[in-house]
Amino acid sequence: MIALWVKSFHIISVVTWFAALFYLPRLYVYHAMAEDAPSRERFKVMERKLYRGIMNPSAVVAVGLGVLLIVLQPFWLEQGWLHVKILLVAALVGYHWYCGRLLRAFAEDRNTRSHVWYRWFNELPVIVLIAVVLLVELKPWA
């Protein structure tokens, strides 16, 4: 029963994490296209608040509750799909961290990348989301 509560909040935090993982690079697309200083300053505030206020806390809760699910039900660790999922989550944490580096570059007006680059960058978490949901639901190598 407690595991079902934990799983519910795990899914809720995954949803809010992905909302930010999709929206922050989208803000970078528009920020990279912005030509006037007031627009750039507004994007800086939006990006910082999204990263610190939603993306970071959601990631901590999603990963923390994922780990708690394994502590409550250690048999999950015997399943192959979970090992692949953990690798993908590690890649996602790397993507999250890299978003933070890009945030700092924009904040200091050091961005050198084009809006087209950010459009492709924006697609990477989509691939991880599809792969993780298929792993969790189809449970291959269980």
Interface with ligand HEM (CB under 6 A): 7, 10-11, 14, 62-63, 66-67, 69-70, 76, 86, 89, 92, 129, 132-133, 136-137
When the beta carbons of 73 and 114 are compared against ligand HEM, the nearer one is 73
User: Distance (Å, rounded) from C-alpha 58 to C-alpha 71?
Assistant: 20
* Residue written as token pair 């200083």: 37
When the beta carbons of 32 and 132 are compared against ligand HEM, the nearer one is 132
| Least separation in angstroms between CB 86 and ligand HEM | 5
| Least separation in angstroms between CB 84 and ligand HEM | 12
10 is in an annotated binding site: yes
Structure tokens at 22: 């999709």
31 is in an annotated binding site: no
| Least separation in angstroms between CB 1 and ligand HEM | 13
Residue 36 gets which letter from DSSP? S
Task: Give the distance, in angstroms, between the CA of residue 96 and the centroid of all CA atoms in the same chain.
Answer: 5
The conformational region for residue 73 under phi > 0 = left, psi -120 to 50 = alpha, else beta, is beta
When the beta carbons of 11 and 116 are compared against ligand HEM, the nearer one is 11
72, 3 in Cβ contact below 8 A?
A: yes
When the beta carbons of 7 and 48 are compared against ligand HEM, the nearer one is 7
Residues contributing to the annotated binding site for heme: 10, 85
